[in-house]
Copies of this chain bind each other. A is one copy, B any other.
Amino acid sequence: MRNFKIVLQYEGTRYKGWQRQVSTENTIQGKLEALLTKMIGQKVEITGSGRTDAGVHALGQVANFHADTKMSPEEILNYMNFYLPEDIAVISVREVSERFHSRLNVKGKTYCYRVIRTEVPCVFDRRYAHLMKESLDVAAMQKAAEYLVGTHDFKAFTSSKKGKKSTVRTIEKIEIIKTTSTSMRMQNVQDEIRFVYSGNGFLFHMVRIMTGTLLEVGLHKRKPEEVAEILDSGLRENAGELVPAKGLILMEVRY
């Protein structure tokens, strides 16, 4: 069996997330498996680097699948892009060693959470960013983010209720960047803050809860130092709100 690694882009808006579900076909994994099964002529299972939740987007999701086929990677790429709906695209297909596993071999991931500060609706980014009317104290959020960088037990920052698995993760870097100009937004009326998280792995809802917590710091509802206390407490209720899925993008998976 040959093993193929694929890099994917998708807009999560109309999907129930990455993971295949019994009751519905409307998942990214479900769409891809149905297409690959048709292409190969026998059942194909695809493994993603990890799940993305309903509504979350991906710029560089990675997955792999094993298949008996004579098709070249390029033929697979063209076939898939021809049949996939326009909100899913294959960026690359590469044949890899039999042992490559897109989830078990992950070394790191980068997520971006986009917040657009605007007092009016934002037509062009309405599906790809979280909109806020209030202004945000970027310096305070950067200070708060420093407490999250490093190796910590992130139990307070996950919605997962399974108690058995480790909730220790390492965050290598958090960048909070203010940008004011793009072609699709009006300067002086709308600006954007990007929260870029790189780490060795992220728990269920972790990026969205971290961002929700940092936003509360940016709104001066919390002090930056409280983040350390939240981490120490290990209690979900101490952390901030879960921000909407549509602002989150899986940027890159590293191996």
Contact = CB atoms under 8 A, between A and B. Distances in A.
Interface in A36-91: 57, 59-60, 77, 81, 84, 86-91
Contacts of A126: 86-87
A15 B193 CA distance: 31
Interface string A233-253: 000000000000000010100
Contact of A114 (B60, B90, B183): B183
B124 A88 contact: no
Interface in A116-140: 120-124, 126, 128
A9 B60 contact: no
Contacts of A184: 59, 128, 249
B81 A121 contact: yes
Give the bracket for the number of chain A residues in contact with chain B.
20 to 34
Nearest to A123: B9
A126 B126 CA distance: 14
A124 B57 contact: yes
Contact of A182 (B10, B84, B182): B182
A96 interface: no
Contacts of A60: 186
A4 to B, nearest CB: 16
A91 to B, nearest CB: 5
A189 interface: yes
A33 interface: no
25 contacts: A9-B121, A9-B122, A9-B123, A9-B124, A9-B186, A10-B123, A59-B183, A59-B184, A59-B186, A60-B186, A77-B120, A81-B120, A86-B123, A86-B126, A89-B120, A89-B121, A91-B120, A91-B189, A92-B120, A92-B189, A112-B183, A114-B183, A183-B249, A183-B251, A184-B249
